[in-house]
Structure formats: structure tokens, C-alpha cells
Amino acid sequence: TFETADGDVMLQAVAPDGDVRPLLAEAIDLDEVRDLSVRLLAGSEWSPTVGDVNLALDCVECENTVTGEGESARFDGQLYHFCCQNCLASFEERYDRLSEGA
């Protein structure tokens, strides 16, 4: 959904049966809509970016930043990230020990 500078709201959506009213009614109160115009698109492309953002994972063992050298492992279906093999081994050892005692 986009709002134009003059206050119009533009929405791009897929309406399989071609009827947009039920789709709009789920999102907004149609009684508040003064004018509704529907145009079919021949195609669309949108490539949003996040900009300059530093996204980094923390090692669950030592809280250092996980880099490309890091390791990932699943324990009971949960995915964990580690900065190095040593942290993975330490976590795995403690996890196994605690699991045996449970």
C-alpha cells in the first residue's frame, strides 16, 4: 500500500477472481471510500532495499559477532549460530550434558 502526496492510497494486489471489493473490505471500511478505481497491470517489478544496515548474528555461546567463518547447528529442531567451532563444541557439550540430566 502506498499513499501519494495528494492523499490518494494506491494498492497493488492479486485478486484471482477479479473482484477487489472483498479483498479491500478485509483491510479497510469501504463506507469511508469516496472513489474506487481499478486498473489492470500488465506487469510489475519492485526491488526494495534495506539501505546501509549492519545485520549481524551474535554467537549464542560467547555473544561475539558471527561472521562468514561461523558455524550453525540444530539442537532439537532449534537453529543456533556460533562464531567458531570451539563455541559450537562447548555449547554442544553443555547441551548434551544438560539433556542427559533432564
* pLDDT tens figures, 27-75: 888 888 888 787 777 777 777 766 666 778 999 999 999 998 899 999 9
Instruction: Fill in the DSSP letter of residue 73.
Output: E
DSSP letter at 72 equals E
CATH number for the 57-101 domain, one of 2.30.170, 2.60.40, 2.40.50, 3.90.550? 2.30.170
Residues paired with residue 2 on neighbouring β-strands, in sequence order: 10
Q: What are the extents of the domains in the chain?
A: 57-101
Count of beta carbons in the 10 Å neighbourhood of residue 101? 6
Q: What is the pTM of this model?
A: 0.47
pLDDT computed for residue 61 by the predictor: 97
Please give the pLDDT value at position 52.
65
